[in-house]
C-alpha cells in the first residue's frame, strides 16, 4: 500500500499533541496536563486499532505505507508492522499513558516537559514502525534530544553528567550505524542498480545471498557497526555505564520510558536489522554476544546487590534483565528468540512499574537511599503489596510475566548449548540461570530493607499510603504483569511467525532464507517455507507447535 495510513496516524498523534501543547500558554498547567493525557490515550487507542487489524498468521510486514521522501537519495518514508514490533508499539503507548499520568507531579516547566514526552513518544513509535533504514536512523537519533532534555531539566543532582553521558554515548555509537547503513545501501545499489534504503528490498537480496557474495569480508565489520549502536542502547555489558546514571538522575516518567521502551530499541534493532541483514555475521557473533550477555547478567546482578540507592539498584537490574533478552536472541533458536522478545515486553512492564513505584515513594519522602527507609510496610500496606507483586515479576516468579521470558530465553540458550550450535556451550545458560537466583537475592534484600525492620527515619511517620488514582496507575501495570504471566499466548501468538522468520533469515543457507518481499510465502511449524496459499492465512495455535516450540501456560 502506498500513501499514509494508520501507522502514520500512530506517529502523527503524539506529534500533533506536541504542537497542540506548544500553543497553550504556559500558565494553564491543568489544560496542558490533560491535553497531554488526551493525546496519550488517543495514541494508545490507535495502537489498539492496529492490534485489532493485525493478523498473526503471517510473518510479512502488514499495513505497510510508502511515500517518496528524498528521491535523489532513494530515501522513502516507509512504515510497516510485524510481530516483532507489534507489542512494542502497544507497550510504548501503554507505558506512555502511565508516564504522562505520573507526570502530573511535575511542577516546573510543565509545558516543555509534556512537549518532550510527546516528541519522545513519536520518535520511539517511529523507530518501531519504520522500514526504511534512514528513517529508522532518523527516529533512533531523534529520541535522544527529548530524553536528554528530560534528564537534564527535571533530573536529580548529577543530571548534567548523566544527560551528557547518555547523549554522547548513544550518539557516538550510532553515528557508525549511519556509515553502516550507507555502505549496505551502496552494496545493494551495486547489485541492483538502484539506490534504496528499503529494509525489505535490501533483505531480499541478502536472502538470496547475492548481496554479501559481493563483499563477504565487509559483513562482519558492518554487523558490528550496527551492533555497537544497539549494544549501547540495550545496554550490553561493556557499554552499560551510561544507564545507571541516566536512570538514577532521570525524572520518574523518564525512567519509566527509558527502562520500558528506550532500551528495547537496541534489542529490537538486533531482531529487525542485524539478524535479517547480516546472517553469517550474526551466526559468528552468537558466541561473543551471548558471552557478553551472560557477563551482563551476572555483573548487573552483582553490582545491583551493592547499591545503596533504590533507583540505582533497579537500574543495574535492568542491565541483568536485558542480558537475558540478548542471550535469548543470540541463542538463535526459536524458543530463545521468542523468550528474548517476550522478556523485552515483560522487562518493560515490570521494571517500568518498579520505577513508577519508586517515583511514588520519592514524591513522598524525597529520598531513595535505603539508609533512610525501613518499616514502610506498616505505613503503606497497599504500596507494599503492589511493590511485592511487581518486584516478584521482575525476579521471575512463575505465574508472573518475568518468568516466561527469562525461562524461555535460558531454555533456548540451553538448547543451543546442548546441541553445541553456533559455538555456544552449556556453561553460558548455567551461569545465566545463576543470574536469576542472584536477582531474587538482591531484589528480596531490597524489599527487606525498605519495608521491614524498625522505622528509623522520623519523616516516615507522617507517610500516607497510595491514593486511589495512584493505585489505578500501578494496577494497570499489575494487570499486564499477571496477564503476561498467566496467559502469554495473547502476546506470543502474534509474534511467533515473525520471530521464526527473523531466526530463519539469520540461520538458513542463502537462497533458503525467508524474505519479507515474497508475499504469500509462509513458514510452517517445522520451520520450512511454503509457497503462496490461496486460502485465508492460518491462525497460529501454540499447542500444535513443533518440539522446538515450547508452549507455556494455557
Radius of gyration of the chain (CA): 22
Least CB distance to other proteins at residue 109 (A): 8
149 binds other proteins (CB under 8 A): yes
Q: Does 378 bind other proteins (CB under 8 A)?
A: no
Q: Coil, strand or helix: which one is 21? A: helix
Q: Contact between 541 and other proteins (CB under 8 A)? A: no
Please say which residue, 144 or 281, places its beta carbon nearer to other proteins. Answer: 144
d(CA 285, CA 231): 13
Closest CB 206 distance from other proteins, rounded Å? 16
Residue among 90 and 211 whose Cβ is closer to other proteins = 211
Question: Per-residue x/- marks for other proteins, 83-122, CB under 8 A?
Answer: -----------------------------x----------
From 139, 342, 387, 491, residue interacting with other proteins (rule: CB under 8 A): 139
Among 39, 54, 114, 167, binds other proteins (CB under 8 A): 167
CA–CA dist 554, 488 (Å, integer): 8
Length of the chain: 554
3-state secondary structure of 529: strand
With CB under 8 A as the rule, give the number of residues binding other proteins: 40
The binder of other proteins chosen from 132, 141, 245, 496 (CB under 8 A):
141
- Residue whose CB is less far from other proteins, 154 or 403: 154
Binding of other proteins by 172 (CB under 8 A): yes
Neighbours of 420 (CB within 10 A): 10
Q: Is 6 exposed, middle or buried (0-12, 13-18, 19+ CB in 10 A)?
A: middle
Rule CB under 8 A: is residue 542 a binding residue for other proteins?
Answer: no
Q: Which of 117, 89, 91 is nearest to 102 (CA)?
A: 117
Q: Taking CB under 8 A as the rule, does residue 145 contact other proteins?
A: yes
Q: How far is the CB of 74 from other proteins (least distance, A)?
A: 10
Nearest to 307 by CA among 196, 115, 409, 445: 445
Name all contacts of 14-17 with Cβ < 8 Å and 24+ positions apart.
14/39, 14/40, 14/43, 14/96, 14/118, 14/119, 14/121, 14/122, 14/125, 15/118, 15/119, 15/122, 17/42, 17/43, 17/118
Smallest distance from the beta carbon of 201 to other proteins, in angstroms?
A: 18
Residues that bind other proteins (CB under 8 A): 68-73, 75, 112, 134, 137-139, 141-142, 144-145, 148-149, 152-153, 160, 163-164, 167-168, 171-172, 175-176, 178-179, 182-183, 186-187, 190, 214-215, 217-218
Amino acid at each position: 500500500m502506498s500513501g499514509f495510513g494508520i501507522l502514520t496516524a500512530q506517529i502523527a498523534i503524539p506529534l500533533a499533541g506536541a504542537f497542540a501543547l506548544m500553543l497553550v500558554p504556559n500558565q494553564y498547567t491543568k489544560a496542558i496536563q490533560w491535553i497531554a493525557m488526551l493525546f496519550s490515550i488517543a495514541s494508545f487507542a490507535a495502537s489498539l486499532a492496529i492490534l485489532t487489524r493485525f493478523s498473526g498468521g503471517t510473518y510479512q510486514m502488514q499495513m505497510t505505507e510508502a511515500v517518496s521522501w528524498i528521491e535523489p537519495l532513494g530515501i522513502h518514508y516507509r512504515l510497516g508492522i510485524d510481530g516483532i514490533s507489534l507489542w512494542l508499539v502497544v507497550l510504548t503507548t501503554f507505558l506512555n499513558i502511565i508516564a504522562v499520568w505520573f507526570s502530573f507531579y511535575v511542577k516546573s516547566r510543565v509545558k516543555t516537559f509534556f512537549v518532550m514526552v510527546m516528541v519522545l513518544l513519536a520518535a520511539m513509535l517511529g523507530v518501531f514502525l519504520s522500514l526504511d533504514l534512514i528513517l529508522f536512523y532518523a527516529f533512533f537519533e531523534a529520541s535522544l534530544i527529548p530524553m536528554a532534555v528530560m534528564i537534564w531539566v527535571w533530573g536529580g543532582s548529577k543530571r548534567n553528567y548523566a544527560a551528557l553521558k547518555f547523549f554522547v554515548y548513544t550518539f557516538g555509537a550510532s553515528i557508525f550505524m549511519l556509515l553502516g547503513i550507507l555502505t549496505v545501501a551502496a552494496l545493494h545499489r551495486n547489485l541492483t542498480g538502484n539506490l534504496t534504503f528499503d529494509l525489505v528490498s535490501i533483505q531480499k537480496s541478502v536472502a538470496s545471498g547475492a548481496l554479501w557474495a559481493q563483499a563477504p569480508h565487509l559483513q562482519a565489520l558492518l554487523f558490528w557497526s550496527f551492533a555497537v549502536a544497539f549494544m549501547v542502547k540495550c545496554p550490553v555489558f561493556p557499554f552499560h555505564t551510561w544507564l545507571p546514571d541516566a536512570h538514577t538522575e532521570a525524572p520518574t516518567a523518564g525512567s519509566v520510558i527509558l527502562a520500558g521502551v528506550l532500551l528495547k530499541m537496541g534489542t529490537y534493532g538486533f531482531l529487525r536489522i542485524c539478524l535479517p541483514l547480516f546472517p553469517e555475521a550474526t551466526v559468528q557473533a552468537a558466541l561473543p554476544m551471548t558471552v557478553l550477555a551472560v557477563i551482563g547478567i551476572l555483573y548487573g546482578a552483582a553490582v545491583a546487590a551493592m547499591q545503596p540507592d533504590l533507583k540505582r539498584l533497579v537500574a543495574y537490574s535492568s542491565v541483568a534483565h536485558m542480558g537475558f533478552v540478548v542471550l535469548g536472541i543470540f541463542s538463535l533458536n526459536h524458543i530463545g528468540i521468542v523468550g528474548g522478545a517476550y522478556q523485552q515486553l515483560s522487562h518493560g512492564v515490570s521494571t517500568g512499574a518498579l520505577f513508577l513505584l519508586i517515583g511514588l515513594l520519592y514524591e513522598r519522602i524525597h529520598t531513595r537511599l535505603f539508609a533512610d527507609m525501613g518499616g514502610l510496610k506498616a505505613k503503606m500496606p497497599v504500596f507494599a503489596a503492589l511493590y511485592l507483586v511487581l518486584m516478584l515479576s521482575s525476579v521471575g516468579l512463575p505465574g508472573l510475566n518475568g518468568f516466561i521470558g527469562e525461562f524461555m530465553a535460558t531454555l533456548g540458550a540451553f538448547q543451543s548449548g546442548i546441541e553445541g550450535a553456533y559455538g555456544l556451550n552449556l556453561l553460558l545458560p548455567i551461569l545465566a540461570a545463576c543470574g536469576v537466583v542472584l536477582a531474587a537475592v538482591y531484589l528480596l534484600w531490597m524489599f527487606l530493607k525498605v519495608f521491614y525492620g524498625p522505622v528509623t527515619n522520623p519523616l516516615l511517620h507522617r507517610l500516607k499510603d497510595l491514593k486511589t488514582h495512584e493505585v489505578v496507575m500501578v494496577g494497570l501495570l499489575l494487570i499486564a504483569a499477571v496477564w503476561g504471566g498467566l496467559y502469554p499466548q495473547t502476546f506470543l501468538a502474534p509474534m511467533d511467525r515473525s520471530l521464526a522468520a527473523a531466526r530463519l533469515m539469520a540461520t538458513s543457507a542463502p537462497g533458503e532464507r525467508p524474505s519479507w518481499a515474497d508475499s504469500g510465502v509462509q513458514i510452517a511449524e517445522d520451520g520450512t517455507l511454503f509457497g503462496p496459499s490461496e486460502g485465508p492465512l492460518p491462525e497460529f495455535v501454540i499447542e500444535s507447535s513443533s518440539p522446538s516450540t515450547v508452549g507455556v501456560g494455557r
